[in-house]
Structure formats: structure tokens, C-alpha cells
């Protein structure tokens, strides 16, 4: 099976490459990512290479910077997604598109299901929601997977904490935002299973369970054997430009109903990551 990955140099893209390169024919994996904002280039590439599946792991992901860069963010996260959906429909190719928990405002304290109302608080969240809607509008054979607090081969919260542990023995971390850390390795397991099916639609795809950034940091230090004191702070005490949802925990309801939820608990996944990728 031929698979074409956009954003193959990002942390999710690298994990897809790692897991898929011995099983599938990865198209043009060694050239730099093609710009998804250019419809003609995207369409030409899909037409020329005829993949069975296109995976969109490309995105503008800097949530803070996005607040001051709205045009560029929408160009990548909304228009880029639209371009891939249009080209995939034209050439009857399956599309796997990745979205985010930041489409929710987090004002409820229950786990979000796929069709709960969304109300993004940040430019990044809005642009990702537009991306979802444009993919849905185009139709075709698409899967949209919303994931959360992603880490893998790249810059992420786990690596930032481990780096800080080398310089400090005391940290303050936000303790009133709830979500679910998700390992790219586990997300790719889900992508692989889903892309073999015809169960098109919207899915939540995070590791199981939930935590706060503060308890996530504490768990990272325990698993990595670092003695760092982590003090909780509130979001109000740690002001950031982009508003984050206080609760963005998602229920993988559609994956579960389909019998396709292979996600481990976030603690098991984190242990695997720290033991195998951070030593």
C-alpha cells in the first residue's frame, strides 16, 4: 500500500515514517515537505504518485506565536487541510487529517465526545476547527483524528521538562488545566488501523486517562528518576497570550464503539517513551 505523508519531518510525521517504512511504500519520504498551502503542487503530487492513503501531519503548531500570526496559521491549518481534502476527493484517495483538543473551550468538567459543541479559545484552535470543517465540507473518504498534548520525536513538554531538570531543582507548573498526554507511537497505531477501514468520519484519539500539566511534570520526573520539586500554579499566575481550555479531556468514544481503541493509559505510554526514547 502506498502512503503519502505531509509534514513527515514533524514529531508525528517522524513516528509515521518510523513505523510505516518497513510495512508500506512511503512516497517521497526523503524530500522536504511539500507546502500544503499550494493546491496545485499538492494535487500534482497526489496525481503523479497515486497513493492509497494521504496523511496530513503538517500543521502550524506554535499555539503562542499563532495569536500574532493569524493569516499564516489559517493558511496552513485551514486552507492546507482544504487543499488536501480537495485533491484527495479528486483522485479518490483516503485522507487522514489530524486535529486537536483545543477546538473545545473546556468549560465543562466531563470528557468531551466527538459531537459535543466546540468553541475554540485560541487562533490555533479556531484554525484547526476550520480545517476540520473544510475537510468535512469537501466530503470524500476522510478520517479526522483529534488528539491532545502530543509528544514523540521532536520538541515537546516531556523533553522541555527533562531539559529543565538539568538546570533546576524546583519548578512551577500550571495545575488547573486538565488534558491527556498522548504518545505519537500510540496515535500511529490508531491511524494504521483506521486507514485500513472504510469507517470514515471524526474520531477522538488520545491516550486513556487525564492529568494536569503539573502532575504530568511530576510523573515525568518520577519515571526519569529526577528529583525536581514541582509546585502548582494557576493559569492566572502563569499568563500566556493564547487561552487554553481548562479541561480538554476527550473520550475516544467512536474508536471504542468501532472496536478500534488501542490506546494505553497515558502513564504506560509515558513510561515507554521515557525508557525508550529519552535515555
Ligand X SMILES: NC(=O)c1ccc[n+]([C@@H]2O[C@H](COP(=O)([O-])OP(=O)(O)OC[C@H]3O[C@@H](n4cnc5c(N)ncnc54)[C@H](OP(=O)(O)O)[C@@H]3O)[C@@H](O)[C@H]2O)c1
Cell of 165: 531538570
Does 98 interact with ligand X (rule: CB under 6 A)?
yes
Please state the closest distance from residue 51 (CB atom) to ligand X, in A: 16
Q: Integer distance in angstroms from the first to the last C-alpha of the chain? A: 34
Task: Examine the residue annotation and report whether 124 is marked as an active-site residue of this protein.
Answer: yes
Secondary structure letter of residue 34 according to DSSP: P
Kindly tell me which of 156 and 235 has the beta carbon lying closer to ligand X: 156
Please state the closest distance from residue 16 (CB atom) to ligand X, in A: 9
Q: Please work out the total of residues on this chain that contact ligand X, with binding judged by CB under 6 A.
A: 26
On whether the CB atoms of residues 45 and 28 are closer than 8 A, the answer is yes
Binding to ligand X (CB under 6 A): which residues in 143-172? 147-150, 154
Does 11 interact with ligand X (rule: CB under 6 A)?
yes
Q: Which of 3, 4, 5, 10 binds ligand X (CB under 6 A)?
A: 10
In the beta sheet, which residues pair with residue 145? 98, 203
Binding to ligand X (CB under 6 A): which residues in 116-135? 128
Count CB neighbours of 219 within 10 A.
20
Binding to ligand X (CB under 6 A): which residues in 17-36? 33, 35-36
Does 16 interact with ligand X (rule: CB under 6 A)?
no
In sequence order, which residues have a C-beta less than 8 Å from that of residue 25 and are 6 or more positions away?
Answer: 1, 2, 3
Does 100 interact with ligand X (rule: CB under 6 A)?
yes
Q: Grid cell 484552535 — which residue?
A: 125
Q: Which residue has the CB atom at the shortest distance from ligand X?
A: 10
Q: Which of 2, 9, 251, 258 binds ligand X (CB under 6 A)?
A: 9
Does 209 interact with ligand X (rule: CB under 6 A)?
no
Please state the closest distance from residue 170 (CB atom) to ligand X, in A: 25
Kindly tell me which of 48 and 227 has the beta carbon lying closer to ligand X: 48
Of 102, 112, 124, 203, the active-site residue reads 124
Q: How far apart are CA 184 and CA 14, in angstroms?
A: 9
Q: How far apart are CA 90 and CA 84, in angstroms?
A: 10
Q: How far apart are CA 3 and CA 26, in angstroms?
A: 5
* CA nearest to 98, candidates 216, 184, 224, 193: 184
Q: In this structure, is the dihedral angle defined by the CA atoms of residues 68, 69, 70 and 74, taken in order, positive or negative?
A: negative
Catalytically active residues are: 124
| Residues near ligand X (CB under 6 A) | 6-7, 9-13, 33, 35-37, 57-61, 76, 80, 98, 100, 128, 147-150, 154
Amino acid at each position: 500500500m502506498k502512503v503519502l505523508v505531509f509534514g513527515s519531518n514533524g514529531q508525528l510525521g517522524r513516528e509515521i515514517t518510523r513505523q510505516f517504512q518497513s510495512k508500506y511504500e512511503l512516497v517521497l519520504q526523503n524530500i522536504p515537505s511539500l507546502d500544503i498551502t499550494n493546491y496545485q503542487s499538492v494535487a500534482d503530487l497526489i496525481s503523479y504518485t497515486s497513493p492509497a492513503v494521504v496523511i496530513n501531519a503538517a500543521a502550524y503548531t506554535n499555539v503562542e506565536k499563532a495569536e500574532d500570526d493569524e493569516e499564516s496559521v489559517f493558511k496552513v491549518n485551514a486552507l492546507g487541510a482544504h487543499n488536501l481534502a480537495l485533491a484527495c476527493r479528486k483522485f479518490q484517495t483516503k485522507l487522514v487529517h489530524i486535529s486537536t483538543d483545543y477546538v473545545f473551550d473546556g468549560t465543562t468538567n466531563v470528557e468531551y465526545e466527538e459531537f459535543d459543541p466546540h468553541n475554540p479559545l485560541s487562533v490555533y484552535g479556531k484554525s484547526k476547527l476550520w480545517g476540520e470543517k473544510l475537510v468535512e465540507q469537501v466530503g470524500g473518504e476522510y478520517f479526522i483524528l483529534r488528539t491532545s498534548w502530543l509528544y514523540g520525536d521532536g520538541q515537546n513538554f516531556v523533553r522541555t521538562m527533562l531539559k529543565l531538570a538539568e538546570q533546576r531543582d524546583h519548578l512551577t507548573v500550571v495545575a488547573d488545566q486538565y488534558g491527556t498526554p498522548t504518545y505519537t507511537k500510540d496515535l500511529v497505531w490508531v491511524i494504521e488501523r483506521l486507514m485500513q477501514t472504510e469507517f470514515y468520519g471524526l474520531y477522538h484519539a488520545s491516550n486513556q486517562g487525564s492529568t494536569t500539566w503539573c502532575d504530568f511534570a511530576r510523573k515525568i520526573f518520577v519515571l526519569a528518576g529526577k528529583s525536581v520539586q514541582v509546585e502548582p500554579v494557576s493559569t492566572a499566575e502563569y499568563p500566556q497570550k493564547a487561552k487554553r481550555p481548562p479541561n480538554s479531556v476527550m473520550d475516544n468514544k467512536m474508536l471504542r464503539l468501532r472496536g478500534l481503541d488501542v490506546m494505553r493509559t497515558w502513564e504506560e505510554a509515558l513510561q515507554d517513551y521515557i525508557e525508550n526514547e529519552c535515555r
